[in-house]
């Protein structure tokens, strides 16, 4: 990972150094919201950031669920070692993290957390392939082990539905193990990007 200078105001962009097919939303002009405020648990309805895909947008949820339907237990990954079944369990564990249902300890990172978060969520650059996840979300460490594919698939679908349901019956955690302080807007953006990343990994 290397840091490059930029004339654009804000934190410098990290060049992750990998190839990736970006979607339209991540290729648009950068539109970074103020994510360090106090709206994390606001009772008022949140609105998606224009030009940025997020699970605040029902259409973006519909898109992800349609792509998820194309994944089967025999789907092969375009990169990485995880199986399609492990990927489904990994995504489910991630949604449990987003809703505070799974406790995940902070992970040591080489850059300031606010910079990593800004780059991962709002900079129009690709995510790295093979980025090491937290042990609690790793299916070969402390994450949920695959059992029956159909049951694990339904569990993921149910978690996505619960995460996007209004009004919410949970409170998002105050921080992420890599990114630190998070708002609800951050979590909804991350949920889209993380799911999208792994669906692309399996050609969906």
State the residue for tokens 């594919």. Answer: 149
Which parts of the chain register pLDDT below 70? 1-50
E strands in the chain: 2-4, 13-15, 175-176, 180-181
- Predicted pLDDT at 186: 95
* Residue 123 DSSP label: S
Q: Please check whether residue 60 is in contact with residue 68, taking contact to mean a CB–CB distance below 8 angstroms.
A: no
- Predicted pLDDT at 48: 57
Query: Taking the model in full, what pTM does it have?
Result: 0.75
Task: Check the CA dihedral 10-23-138-169 and report its sign.
Answer: positive
Nearest by Cα to 69 from 201, 199, 169: 199
- Predicted pLDDT at 56: 94
Non-local CB neighbours of 6 within 8 Å, separated by 6+ positions: 12, 13
- Predicted pLDDT at 47: 58
Non-local CB neighbours of 18 within 8 Å, separated by 6+ positions: 126, 128, 129
């Amino acid at each position: 990972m290397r840091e490059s200078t930029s004339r654009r105001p804000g934190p410098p962009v990290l060049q992750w150094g990998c190839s990736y097919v970006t979607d339209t939303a991540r290729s648009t002009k950068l539109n970074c919201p103020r994510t360090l405020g106090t709206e994390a648990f606001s009772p008022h309805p949140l609105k998606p950031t224009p030009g940025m895909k997020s699970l605040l947008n029902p259409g973006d949820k519909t898109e992800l669920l349609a792509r998820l339907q194309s994944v089967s237990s025999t789907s092969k990954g375009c990169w990485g070692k995880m199986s399609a079944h492990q990927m489904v369990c990994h995504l489910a564990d991630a949604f449990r993290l987003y809703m505070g249902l799974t406790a995940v300890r902070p992970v040591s990172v080489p850059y300031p957390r606010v910079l990593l978060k800004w780059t991962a969520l709002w900079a129009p650059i690709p995510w790295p392939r093979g980025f090491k996840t937290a042990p609690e979300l790793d299916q070969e460490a402390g994450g949920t082990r695959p059992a029956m594919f159909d049951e694990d698939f339904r569990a993921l679908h149910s978690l996505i539905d619960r995460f996007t349901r209004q009004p919410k019956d949970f409170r998002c955690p105050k921080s992420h193990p890599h990114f630190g302080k998070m708002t609800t807007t951050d979590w909804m953006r991350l949920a889209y990007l993380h799911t999208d990343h792994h669906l692309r990994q399996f050609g969906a």
